[in-house]
Amino acid sequence: MPRYLYLVRHAESKEKQVGQDDCDRRLTPRGMREALLMGTYLYKEKTTLDVIISSTAERAKATAGLMADGLKLDPKDIVFTDELYEASTRTFFHYISELDDTKKKIMCVTHNPFVSYVAEYLTKEEIGDMAPGSLVTIKFDIASWKEIGEGNGELENYIYPEMLNDN
């Protein structure tokens, strides 16, 4: 059975204010709408997930929660980890390789430029700078998450909020 990794760049966030910790930045109203819209789109497409893993930054946590709402997932299916905030590629791959192999469909909500780089690294496709709130779906024909690596994923989909409408 194939495995799927859904890489999500957090939705549009407010600019960092003077003296504010970057982790405390929140989503804009537009970012909130778009994160919910993306989750609803995935639900309508009959996408199922085993788990959502999110950075602990406020904007990523909010994106994950709103996408879970749109997907009609239980909030208990979201795992928050500091490892996805300012993650190095090595840290990310170590984290993913340690995932339970019974989980076949995983969403990671994280940050740019990291998320764009990882999507290109895994697929060897030119994706460019992922837009806020965008999602890349990568399919792997691997038996274990330990096998995830450079170029062994197939780009299935790249969608971003502007592609969708509220209808």
Average pLDDT over all residues of the chain:
93
Domains and CATH numbers, the chain: 3-12+24-125+138-163 (3.40.50.1240)
Q: Whole-angstrom Cα distance, residue 64 to residue 75?
A: 9
DSSP bridge pairs for 159: 135
How does residue 165 score in pLDDT terms, banded at 50, 70 and 90? low
pLDDT at 16: 78
Query: pLDDT (tens digit, 9 = 90+) per residue, 32-63?
Result: 999 999 999 999 999 999 999 999 999 999 99
The one-character DSSP state at 58 is H
Four-point Cα dihedral 159, 95, 89, 137, nearest 10? -20
Residue 38: closest CA among 107, 133, 111: 133
Q: Whole-angstrom Cα distance, residue 162 to residue 153?
A: 25
Query: pLDDT (tens digit, 9 = 90+) per residue, 96-144?
Result: 999 999 999 999 999 999 999 999 999 999 999 999 999 999 999 999 9
pLDDT at 75 over 60: yes
pLDDT at 167: 45
